[in-house]
A and B are shown apart, each in its own frame.
Chain A
Amino acid sequence: MKIQIKRYTTEPKLHEAVLEYEVALEDATLLEVLYEIKTKQDSSLSYASGCRSSVCGSCSMRVNEKEVLACAYKVQEGDLVEPLRNAPVIRDLVVDMDKAYAFNAKAKGWLQSSSAKKALTLEDEKRNELQSDCILCGSCYSACPVYSVNEEFFGPFALTRVWKYVSDAREEGISEKIANIQTNGVWDCTLCNECTLVCPQGISSKSDIEKLRSKSAMEGFSDPNFGNFGGGFGFDGSPSF
């Protein structure tokens, strides 16, 4: 089986190339194939990996222009493997996620709660169970088209994290959290749904962002983009620009 891997290095000078490798593995995950190549053919091939079982989020990359976890993707003849987008490539399939992860802090993705205990009900817990399955693999971040126009967008996983806490029955800082995501936050999303399509955990950041938008409206915020277009809704409710 042959696959193509996009290689990238800046040492000793910038060099990019798509290289073809042939491996004799069948029904193998991409991670197994990469390991086979690294240990048997080309030890300079660089990629990140950890748990091998889709829960640590280390080995996200793109195959045929779609984000996958290498450990959860079964390789097909002719696949083209590339690094994630929207994050600086360090080498080959490894990207620098520092800036991406920093959006978790910028978006205030944590629980703000006093020491007073509030017991969660079964229903409370189920409300954001899916969002708390996030493994921070960054697939959604890579698939998001907003970064081509706004590099400071908090992005899908950080906003899902905000929704996870805003929807937590124990959260006491809802207003503060909502106010914090008005700039570079919920309104920058185009609702294109690319993030949902690539999430290995079945999370829809797009839908979490929509819920955060409704919450924002309830808090008295509105979409700044409508203002920019000088329009709004007409008396009959139809948009006018």
Chain B
Amino acid sequence: MRSDVLIIGAGGAGLVAALNAHKSGAKVRVLTKEYPTRSQTSMAQGGINAALGNVADDSVEAHIQNTLKSAHGLANEEAVKLLCEEAPKAVEWLDSIGVPFSRTKDAKIAQRTLGGASAPRACYAQDYTGLKILHTLYDRCNEAGIEILNERYLLNFVVNKDTYDKPYACGATVLNIRTGEVETYESASVIVATGGYSRIYDRYSTNSVGSTGDGIAAALRAGARLSDMEFIQFHPTALKNSAILISESARGAGGYLVNSQGERFTNELAPRDEVARAIVNEIEKGEDVFLDIRHLGEAFIDAELPQERKLARLYENVDPVYDLIPIKPVAHYTMGGIEVDEKSQSKLKGLFAVGECANHRVHGANRLGGNSLLELIVFGIQSGENAAKYAKEFDKSIETSAASQSANNFVKGVKYFSNQIDFYEKKAFLGKIFYNNAGIQRDEMGLKAVLGAVRQIQKEIPFMGPRDKSKLYNTNLVEFIEFGNMVELSEIILVCAISRNESRGAHFRSDIPQANDMAYKAHTITWKEDSVLCADFME
């Protein structure tokens, strides 16, 4: 069952990496816990940034500056430069493989303004940008004949040690959801492309139910380091009842945010962290907050924002052409992730990471809208090529029996957990306390209280467990393991958020509302040594 490059995750990042590793001559295998077109990428609406200047003056330099500004000192300038310089090429490539970008009247790729951008820079396909990019990538993988195995849930990475006792990743153990069997895949290199961890916020997140941080937690257990886990972006405009996303492009096109009095209270196109806080301030004053796009008119809404209209009608029972849209900010994107170097490789040799699960240090403390789709193309290409190159030079042996045995024991053992405590209840509870105390605004007391609760949950995990003991397609079991991963990451987010005694970007400490560059203009690095969590600030 050996491949040169094993990719975990078949969203945008995983598929771009797969195509490029394949192009570099590697034998590629992709594993996904769902199906390739069902990933979080399908939900990206607004667009992908590239300074093409198709509808107004723009420059790569401006893209770099906007990105750095929003990152609040936590981005790596070289990485941002690469991201922005490669952006026009990335969009050109997507165009060449058939992504149906919206067009201008003079046959150019249309662009629109998202928050924090000095020019209309986001290339889009109506408000289905992620969907259309993802499906085109999937079609491309079909053309290339890339092997994609569906409904395989990541358990752990296989780590071996070389003759100098240095560890390296060389495969993964997964649960075949359909059969209930543990499967072990050997590979010279492994790319993690499993997405973010916003579902820790449970119902207070725009994300797909699959964004549970599985790959990040597994990478941590395997010996990789994580960085900046406390930085979590809240999207200002999710539907109030369902937390379903209404794209920033609605504000980019001229939509207003208004309170119950119908008054505007903020610059709608400021970066997301600022807008989210402005909304929270209104809500704390007792106001309801609405997105108003009525003045854009039905024709414009139907042409440019068809999905937003559909979602608002379906999930909030309002028609944005005639009604105000009730909204609230919820967790949307996790800036933190697996620490990687300029080759997309983690601290663990042979383990590469890309997409939301990785931290390429381009988003820093707050991601700009339109930069995440861009990131997965630029670094997807990079990680695919580098993992293939690494695999070509790989000359070590692969031994998986211990990893296999331990994965089997784990899956069998989990089913015997005592089930005195309902983990679904704890999952909802965790989401709620995170949203209230480790969300848009945090303070030391609240964070410490949540950390106490998380440590209690950790102790209680053996008293939880799946109720369903079946082998075949046991989603109760998968959801329990996902919950375990989220609890593992929760502790890290809280430790980082408590250690960072300042406010920076998406990490806003209401007890210390200023930034402190002297002490904290650095990355929060976390890792495990003999299962003990370690944290430090590093350049």
Contact = CB atoms under 8 A, between A and B. Distances in A.
Interface of A: 9-11, 29, 38-40, 43-44, 46-58, 72, 90-91, 94, 96-98, 101, 104-105, 108-111, 113, 115, 117, 119-122, 124-125, 128-129, 132-136, 161, 165, 168, 170
Interface string B305-342: 00100110011000000000000000000000000000
Interface stretch (B291-299, B350-358, B468-476): B468-476
Given A56-B37, A110-B139, A132 B125 contact: yes
A119 B42 CA distance: 25
B103 A121 contact: yes
B96 A132 contact: no
Contact of B107 (A40, A55, A72, A119): A119
B34 A50 contact: yes
B457 interface: no
A85 to B, nearest CB: 18
B38 A113 contact: no
Interface in B97-149: 97-98, 100-105, 107-108, 125-126, 128, 131-132, 135-136, 138-140, 142-143, 145
A117 B96 contact: yes
B467 interface: yes
Contacts of A11: 470-472
Contacts of B132: 132
Interface string B392-424: 000000000000000000000000000000101
B96 A113 contact: yes
A166 B138 CA distance: 17
A132 B314 contact: no
B242 interface: yes
B104 A110 contact: no
A27 to B, nearest CB: 8
Contacts, number: 150
Interface string B20-33: 00000000000000
Contact of B178 (A58, A90, A105): A90
Nearest to A97: B35
Contact of A52 (B103, B108, B140, B209): B209
A122 B98 contact: no
A125 B303 CA distance: 12
B430 interface: no
A46 B107 contact: no
B305 to A, nearest CB: 14
B210 interface: yes
A10 B472 CA distance: 8
A43 B467 contact: yes
A56 B473 contact: no
B100 A91 contact: no
A165 B38 contact: no
B233 interface: no
Contacts of B96: 113, 115, 117
Contact of B244 (A40, A52, A108, A120): A52
B100 A58 contact: no
B321 to A, nearest CB: 18
Give the residue among B139, B145, B473 with the most A Cβ atoms within 10 A. Answer: B473
Interface string B26-60: 00000000110111101100000000000000000
Contacts of B125: 132
Contacts of B145: 105
A127 to B, nearest CB: 9
B245 interface: yes
Nearest to B477: A43
Contact of A104 (B139, B178, B425, B473): B139
Contact of B128 (A40, A55, A104, A115): A55
